[in-house]
Amino acid sequence: PLNIDNIQADILVGMHKDKELFFFFSINNPVTFKSKLKSDILPLITTTREILAVDTQPVTAAVNIAFSSPGLVNLGVDSNTIGDPDFVAGQFSETGTIGDDPSLWNSAFAGTKVHGVFLLASDTVDNINTELANIQSILGSSITEIHRLQGAARPGSESGHEHFGFMDGISQPAVNGFTNPVLPGQPQVNAGIFLLGEQDDPSQGSRPPWAIDGSFLVFRQLQQLVPEFNQFLTDHPLDTDTLTPEQGSELLGARMVGRWKSGAPIFLSPTADDPELAADPTRNNDFNYIIESAPDPPAENHFNQTRCPFSAHIRKSHPRADVDPSVEHPHLIIRSSIPYGPEVTDAEAASSTTSVDRGLAFVSYQSNVFNGFVFLQNFWINSVTFPFGKVDDTIGVDPIIGSLGGGPKNISGLDPAVPCPDGNDCLGQRDVSHDVVVPRDFVVSRGGEYFFAPSLSGINDIALA
Ligand code: N7H
């Protein structure tokens, strides 16, 4: 079994609080920092076991910590020995690979200035600020703030939904020996896909002791242009023969994501939202994109996008039976994101123009930065031909987070009107008039960094390095 007293809370279960602060810092005085890390910070770090039961959760705020590669080097730890070239290179050096425009990055993330991040989670911002003040008084001038991002669940009935309005945090992989119960539709994998040194870690056996049971934390500040996104949906309602314009716009949004705003998967409920399905954890993730009712399901599965576009965000990022489990499992990630920024103002809605920054503080955990985030973003999300082997030569990038340098994205399957009404083989005959052109990116990366979230014993080792 996993040592859940040694694994930081956010990795396997998340902090599950309505407010979460990401506090990015650099380390000025490694000697003082390491001494305080061992004596005063380590006792504050929230473990997986503590977060699981309400009565063991910290009174003020849950605290997790993670270090960038330059941060580890600054502390006297040779980050090369961890065996992850992408982590060592840092996210800023990979903007070309992951499709980011570095000129749009927040200057805090541009370069290698950020040495570490504190994740502070609680029910109130006041509690978070109290804990932050405590940490700052412990560490004093041994650290300098580089950037902070205050995350918050959206208010009222939008709680749990990201800023475009869609329920988030539904589908997560199940970790063998930890996740209980396993829900229908969850892929079941060994802990080493997420935790270093555990079974199925691609570098299991060659990790240094301080890295065991840690995980790479990929952080991304992803701005969302919500009024612009809404205007686009309003301007391009689908299926206007049978639906009202509002319903047609809702359908387009749902097909871009792969779920209705409630969270109901469009593959199971293709024509209208189904809030009951959305609310049922035994059904809301139980699908694999195979059209069982078809006379020849494998063949039909290769051209029929009526139930779910090949490009839908959740299909691009977790293609289920579109690829073999042996191919897909190494690329699973655990997500622990939270929205940031306020609700859309009346003035923004009226002008369809963003003037206040809002978006998603994206967090994913994986045991290998390339296999996880980088692979997903580069080879699946930003690829116009993935899922491969479909009878459609221009599937298009992920309409939510795929990018072709910020410009228009031609996406074939968003309109459920069957591209090839006669069925079997539509290669070369696809009616491009059905393509929906997404004119611009509605999610804009403001940068991020690759971090390593050590185990508690690993933090102790780092403090003694
Ligand atoms: Fe996504 N969205 O609101 O459209 N995502 N995501 N994501 N995402 C998911 O199933 C969203 C981002 C994944 O197992 C849902 O939990 C937005 C990045 C994966 O079926 C919704 C942003 C990456 C899944 C969103 C964003 C991923 C997933 C459905 C950025 C990886 C699970 C809720 C602002 C590189 C898929 C759920 C599965 C689900 C949205 C970013 C990956 C609603 C707005 C950067 C693997």
Dist. CA 107–CA 228, nearest whole Å: 25
ipTM: 0.99
Dist. CA 404–CA 392, nearest whole Å: 19
Question: Which residue is closest in CA terms to ligand 1's atom 28?
Answer: 314
* Ligand 1 neighbourhood includes 171 CB (under 6 angstroms): yes
- For residue 1, how far is its CA from the centre of ligand 1 (angstroms)? 29
- For residue 28, how far is its CA from the centre of ligand 1 (angstroms)? 36
Q: Where are the domains of the chain?
A: 9-223+447-463
* Ligand 1 neighbourhood includes 170 CB (under 6 angstroms): yes
CB 336 within 8 A of CB 372: no
Dist. CA 395–CA 385, nearest whole Å: 5
Question: Which residue is closest in CA terms to ligand 1's atom 26?
Answer: 401
* Ligand 1 neighbourhood includes 149 CB (under 6 angstroms): no
- For residue 462, how far is its CA from the centre of ligand 1 (angstroms)? 33
- For residue 354, how far is its CA from the centre of ligand 1 (angstroms)? 22
In angstroms, the Cα distances linking 308 to 271, 329, 383, 386 are 10, 21, 18, 14
* Ligand 1 neighbourhood includes 376 CB (under 6 angstroms): yes
Question: Which residue is closest in CA terms to ligand 1's atom 39?
Answer: 314
Catalytic hit among 18, 84, 86, 168 = 168
Dist. CA 352–CA 209, nearest whole Å: 52
Question: 3-state DSSP helix/strand/coil percent for the chain, to nearest 5?
Answer: 35, 20, 50
Neighbouring C-alpha atoms within 13 Å toward the C-beta of 60: 14
165 CA: nearest ligand 1 atom: 3
Residues of the chain with pLDDT under 70: 294-299, 393, 417-434
Nearest to 300 by CA among 418, 212, 188: 418
Question: Which residue is closest in CA terms to ligand 1's atom 42?
Answer: 317
In angstroms, the Cα distances linking 6 to 3, 15, 141, 211, 422 are 6, 16, 28, 12, 58
What would the two tokens of residue 273 be? 């939202």
172 CA: nearest ligand 1 atom: 14
- For residue 428, how far is its CA from the centre of ligand 1 (angstroms)? 31
168 is catalytic: yes
- For residue 202, how far is its CA from the centre of ligand 1 (angstroms)? 24
317 CA: nearest ligand 1 atom: 46
- Mutation to probe ligand 1, out of 94, 154, 158, 162 (largest number of atoms < 8 A from CB): 162
Cβ neighbours around 295 below 10 Å, total: 7
Q: What is the reported pTM?
A: 0.97
